[in-house]
A and B are shown apart, each in its own frame.
Chain A
Amino acid sequence: MDQLVQLLVNGVSMGCIYGLVALGFILIFNATGVVNFAQGEFVMLGAFVAVTALTQWGLPLLPGLAAVALAVAAAGWLFQRLAYQPIRDKPLLAIIICTAMVGAFMRSGALLVWGPYPLPLSSVLPDRLLVLGRVVLPLQNLVIVVLTGVLLLGLWGFFFRTAWGLRLRATAQDFDTARLMGIHVGRAVTATWVLGALLGAAAGLLLAPLWNASPEMGGAVALKAFAACIIGGFGSVPGAVLGGVLVGLVEILAAAYLSSAYKDAITFLIMIAFLVFLPRGLFGERVAEKA
């Protein structure tokens, strides 16, 4: 029982990270129809920039986080200028391949700038243990769950309580109608790319104290986040988060009780089962509904 509680906390906290990255996938997909295969690289970028700002330059926490947000927002803007805007009228497949290629460029760039050795980021999350009876829980994992909740609440507030959020939602629904309503669709799309990058970076910030920053850290998390999107329903915001938590739980419980060697196979088997039997996922909308 004690083990189960520990596993659940670890699974849910990992799932929250997957959910955050999945949310980045969903926002960009809803606004542009593109699956951004470089989403994981923004996780990596957020982690590395945080290491530079907070550990290497020694900036205090809040200015440091602001610097990270600014840098990643700029990277998100540049990314869409290079990988999306010039070819946005081309077939979707071309755009998706382009995002994957720019992602590879970002990984190689990180290797050049920060080197191959993992870098630690210890100052963001408290590295303490919470002892509840016979259960020992790392505070970091609990903080991840809480911070993800706060971030989601903030996002909900942004989308449903601000004019900018309304514009973004309208753009995601229908480009032409949004344009007719006087919304600057181009700006809204740009803002969505930037927001997607920031969500990835937030996941990177939460992950770096656990995993250390490394050029390849984004790939592992992005693949699971992609599975989370499929399970939750590609296009659904609550689905992305729930899908993320489900993936986190499935992989840790499968590793503990079935087979550690096949935990990923089990996770992706579930994803394939969803694709075959419930392609809309748990919360996805029908394709016809959006059209």
Chain B
Amino acid sequence: MRQRTLRYLTTAAAIAVGAGLAAAPPAARAQQGEIVIGATVPITSPYALSGRSYYNSLQMAERDINGQGGVKGRRLRIVFEDTANSNTVAVNAFKKLVDSAKPPFVFLNSYTVQNLAVEPEVARAGIPVMYAGGGAAVAERGNPWMFRIRPNDAVAAKAAAHFATRKLRLKRVGLMGVEGDFGQGGMKVAAEALRKLGVEPVGEEVYRAADKDMSAQLLSLKNKGAEAIIAFTYVAEPPIIYRQRRQLNLGIPILGSSATCLPAATNVMSAQDLDGTYCFTDSLLVGNADPRVRAWAERYQKEFNFPPDVYGVAYYDGAFLLKQAIEKAGLDPKALREAIASTRDFKGIGAVFSFDRRGEGVHQVVVVKPRPGTKDFELVETVRPED
């Protein structure tokens, strides 16, 4: 009887999986007149935490572009492939997209490690891509096909050092960051910038992305006399770090990288946890004085039942930037690359884009802080560290 039940369940599962596969959309092939582009996005795994926002905003951009008559009268279709949290999956996703859909353009995701892994394949495919990973190492490779649609981490790190020393007039600053190219790279740039400004960092503490207790690092920096901590984090850790800062009664501000004020993080923080913190990010979306930005943020919130973030808006803007480039140069990859590279002062929702010879599109960050007793952020200032 048990054997029969098991066999029954197995057959049922096989049928369900089979039916699911049969119901899945056919492989990405361009319909008559359609322009098919690709997007490799982490839809599953912990990376989906930020991947979800640009998965949403790219779909929103696709609908909006088609609603406005498409690209040169042709419908735009974005084919997605999941990259999960694995470099191998990301590389395979890109290759699969390029082989099956033969797109003239692909959006890569916001994770530097995956951007670095996919970079050789991009060079091989010879098609332009846009990416949002902040690691300086990607642009340093000098791949002419890669265009970054967010400020790189060095911009934010330098801005944090400037803000801490010039605006807050601090003399003793601690650094903290997640292990890896992003966190430790950001700490390195911030440390150099601080030294140039005459401030020696009191300590540098690292934690692993999977860590859930950072009290030792926080206490260590406090004991070394830090008056503030500049922190480079992914999105999962800020709720823990900020709560522990309050619970340990540290009483010093944290100047956090952009993930510390993403809605995915602040949604699970309390207003007390955020009190006395600053965030270096691309732009202020919710609560922006510009009605165009505010309207976009409200529409995103309504559509996806979750607040928008700077990653999402970067890809939304990227899609419209691409539309402009295709309208100018057509679908030939080389001509399209030239058109993207020559983009100057493209005013998107979240930023103004001008690509330099390294493919860097955004050159400034904003400093935001929560309004006292709330989780609503307000603009403190805009920083262009190169100035």
State whether A252 and B215 are in contact (beta carbons under 8 Å apart), knowing that A119-B268, A129-B247, A129-B249 are contacts in the complex.
yes
Considering the chains assembled together, what is the distance between the CA atoms of A211 and B212 in angstroms?
Answer: 6
Is B210 a contact partner of A219 (Cβ separation < 8 A)? yes
Is A6 a contact partner of B248 (Cβ separation < 8 A)? yes
Is A214 a contact partner of B236 (Cβ separation < 8 A)? yes
Q: Which residues of B contact A111 (CB under 8 A)?
A: 44-45, 48
Which of the segments B63-71, B117-125, B216-224 contacts the partner chain?
B216-224
A182-226 at interface with B (beta carbon < 8 Å)? 207, 210-212, 214-217, 219-221
Which of the segments A64-72, A90-98, A258-266, A271-279 contacts the partner chain?
A258-266
State whether A216 and B217 are in contact (beta carbons under 8 Å apart), knowing that A6-B248, A211-B212, A260-B205 are contacts in the complex.
no
| From B207, B215, B223, contact of A10 by CB (8 A) | B215
Considering the chains assembled together, what is the distance between the CA atoms of A217 and B209 in angstroms?
Answer: 11
Closest Cβ of chain A: how far from B223's Cβ, in Å? 6
B284-326 at interface with A (beta carbon < 8 Å)? 306
Interface centre among B6, B212, B239, B264 (most CB of A within 10 A): B212
Instruction: Flag whether B206 is at the interface (Cβ < 8 A).
Output: yes
Is A255 a contact partner of B247 (Cβ separation < 8 A)? no
Is B212 a contact partner of A210 (Cβ separation < 8 A)? yes
Chain B residue with Cβ nearest A128: B247
Q: Which residues of B contact A57 (CB under 8 A)?
A: none
Considering the chains assembled together, what is the distance between the CA atoms of A121 and B212 in angstroms?
Answer: 15
Considering the chains assembled together, what is the distance between the CA atoms of A211 and B210 in angstroms?
Answer: 11
Instruction: Flag whether B243 is at the interface (Cβ < 8 A).
Output: yes
Is B216 a contact partner of A7 (Cβ separation < 8 A)? yes
Q: Which residues of A contact B236 (CB under 8 A)?
A: 118, 214, 216
Instruction: Flag whether A108 is at the interface (Cβ < 8 A).
Output: yes
Considering the chains assembled together, what is the distance between the CA atoms of A251 and B211 in angstroms?
Answer: 10
Is A136 a contact partner of B217 (Cβ separation < 8 A)? no
Interface majority SS on A: helix, strand, loop or mixed?
Answer: helix
Closest Cβ of chain A: how far from B60's Cβ, in Å? 18
Closest Cβ of chain B: how far from A104's Cβ, in Å? 11
Q: Which residues of A contact B240 (CB under 8 A)?
A: 210-212
| From B6, B205, B220, contact of A86 by CB (8 A) | B6
Instruction: Flag whether B46 is at the interface (Cβ < 8 A).
Output: yes
Instruction: Flag whether A3 is at the interface (Cβ < 8 A).
Output: yes
Is B268 a contact partner of A120 (Cβ separation < 8 A)? yes
Q: Which residues of B contact A3 (CB under 8 A)?
A: 219, 223
Is B267 a contact partner of A117 (Cβ separation < 8 A)? yes
Instruction: Flag whether A14 is at the interface (Cβ < 8 A).
Output: yes
Q: Which residues of A contact B48 (CB under 8 A)?
A: 111, 116
Interface majority SS on B: helix, strand, loop or mixed?
Answer: mixed
Closest Cβ of chain A: how far from B202's Cβ, in Å? 14
Q: Hey, what's the 0/1 contact readout for B16-53 against A, CB within 8 Å counting as 1?
A: 00000000000000000000000000001110110110
Considering the chains assembled together, what is the distance between the CA atoms of A216 and B236 in angstroms?
Answer: 10
Q: Which residues of A contact B215 (CB under 8 A)?
A: 6-7, 10, 252
Is A256 a contact partner of B6 (Cβ separation < 8 A)? no
State whether A14 and B239 are in contact (beta carbons under 8 Å apart), knowing that A117-B264, A129-B249, A138-B247 are contacts in the complex.
no
Closest Cβ of chain B: how far from A52's Cβ, in Å? 15
Is B212 a contact partner of A220 (Cβ separation < 8 A)? yes
Q: Which residues of B contact A251 (CB under 8 A)?
A: 213
Q: Which residues of B contact A115 (CB under 8 A)?
A: 52
Is B264 a contact partner of A118 (Cβ separation < 8 A)? yes
Considering the chains assembled together, what is the distance between the CA atoms of A115 and B207 in angstroms?
Answer: 25
State whether A260 and B46 are in contact (beta carbons under 8 Å apart), knowing that A220-B211, A255-B216 are contacts in the complex.
no
Considering the chains assembled together, what is the distance between the CA atoms of A211 and B44 in angstroms?
Answer: 20
| From A14, A122, A212, contact of B213 by CB (8 A) | A14
Considering the chains assembled together, what is the distance between the CA atoms of A58 and B247 in angstroms?
Answer: 26
| From B46, B179, B207, B247, contact of A216 by CB (8 A) | B46
State whether A6 and B219 are in contact (beta carbons under 8 Å apart), knowing that A111-B48, A261-B206 are contacts in the complex.
yes
Q: Which residues of B contact A122 (CB under 8 A)?
A: 270
Q: Which residues of B contact A260 (CB under 8 A)?
A: 205-207, 216-217, 220
B223-264 at interface with A (beta carbon < 8 Å)? 223, 236, 239-240, 243, 247-249, 264
Q: Which residues of B contact A6 (CB under 8 A)?
A: 215, 219, 248
Closest Cβ of chain A: how far from B55's Cβ, in Å? 10
Considering the chains assembled together, what is the distance between the CA atoms of A10 and B240 in angstroms?
Answer: 13
Q: Which residues of A contact B223 (CB under 8 A)?
A: 3
Closest Cβ of chain A: how far from B77's Cβ, in Å? 25
B264-284 at interface with A (beta carbon < 8 Å)? 264, 267-268, 270
Chain B residue with Cβ nearest A14: B213
Closest Cβ of chain A: how far from B201's Cβ, in Å? 14
Is B212 a contact partner of A217 (Cβ separation < 8 A)? yes
Chain A residue with Cβ nearest B206: A261
Q: Which 9 A-B pairs have the closest CB atoms?
A: A255-B216, A116-B48, A138-B247, A256-B216, A261-B206, A136-B249, A120-B268, A220-B210, A212-B268
Known pairs A118-B267, A256-B219; list 18 more (Cβ under 8 Å).
A3-B219, A6-B215, A10-B213, A111-B44, A111-B45, A116-B48, A116-B51, A116-B52, A129-B247, A136-B249, A138-B247, A212-B240, A212-B268, A219-B210, A255-B207, A255-B217, A260-B207, A261-B179
List 13 A–B pairs whose Cβ atoms lie within 8 Å, in order of A's numbering: A7-B219, A14-B213, A86-B6, A111-B44, A116-B52, A117-B52, A117-B267, A120-B267, A216-B46, A256-B216, A260-B206, A264-B208, A264-B211
Binding site for A on B (CB under 8 A): 6, 44-46, 48-49, 51-52, 179, 205-208, 210-213, 215-217, 219-220, 223, 236, 239-240, 243, 247-249, 264, 267-268, 270, 306
